[in-house]
Amino acid sequence: MLLFVGLGNPGQEYVLNRHNIGFMAVDAIVRRHSFSPWRAKFHGEVCEGTIGAEKVVALKPMTWMNDSGRSVAACAQFYKIEPKDFVVFHDELDLDPGRLKVKIGGGHAGHNGLRSIQAHLGSDFRRVRLGIGHPGAKERVTGWVLGNFAKVDRDWLEPLLGGVADAAGKLVERDDVGFMNLVSGIKPAGEPRPEKPRTSAPAAAGPTETAKNAMAETLRRLLAAKKR
């Protein structure tokens, strides 16, 4: 059994924030793989499903980002899931928009959601780092992560989230390189980007065309919810 955790902040005013891309990624997986309905539990929202032959519990902590670990710890204790079987989806300032990397262990790099999980459960878990880019100056970071995605961001955000949902089976198989390779094969509509030279280490995955329409309906719903 695995635990997929999406990090974000609760409330309609935060739905489209860059900081909430972890929520968006887990929502995409839950829809694509027909998980059970969300229900309130463990200081968050939780649901269950099966990907491949493995049961997966999905969790969105509703404790605010900086207390996410309390929700994750309660859920993990109930299901008896160890940190090595967590996959945490979160925003990453140090990756360009639309890129992603999978990492095991390491520090929190100032991310309060990761900091909280590590304080409760240690750092021995996988993270899917979803690039949102950096605003260029440290003093602009808070406004950037708590700012909404722009309409132009749909060009990479929709295929990225669709690709994550499509490739989730690789995460279940613990094939992180395969997961990154699948998502990196998905390019957004528009002019193709030149490929970067490959090195011995896997490149950060970026979106491509396989799922170009997969998340259009999702973002339309989010925008509609934001306007209400």
**What burial letters (b/e) apply to 77-96, b meaning 16+ CB within 10 Å?**
eebebebebbbbbbbbbebe
Whether residue 19 lies in the annotated active site: yes
Rounded alpha-carbon distances, angstroms, from residue 15 to 12, 31, 218: 5, 17, 11
Closest CA to 205 of 172, 149, 166, 173: 166
Residue reference for tokens 């959601």: 113
Q: Dump the DSSP string for 53-119.
A: TEEEEEEEE-S-GGGHHHHHHHHHHHHT--GGGEEEEEEETTS-TT-EEEEES---TT-HHHHHHHH
Longest CA–CA separation in the chain, Å: 49
Active-site pick, 19, 43, 90, 111: 19
128 vs 102: CA distance, rounded Å:
5
Instruction: Enumerate the H helices of 167-215 as residue ranges.
Output: 168-172, 176-184
Just list the catalytic residues.
19
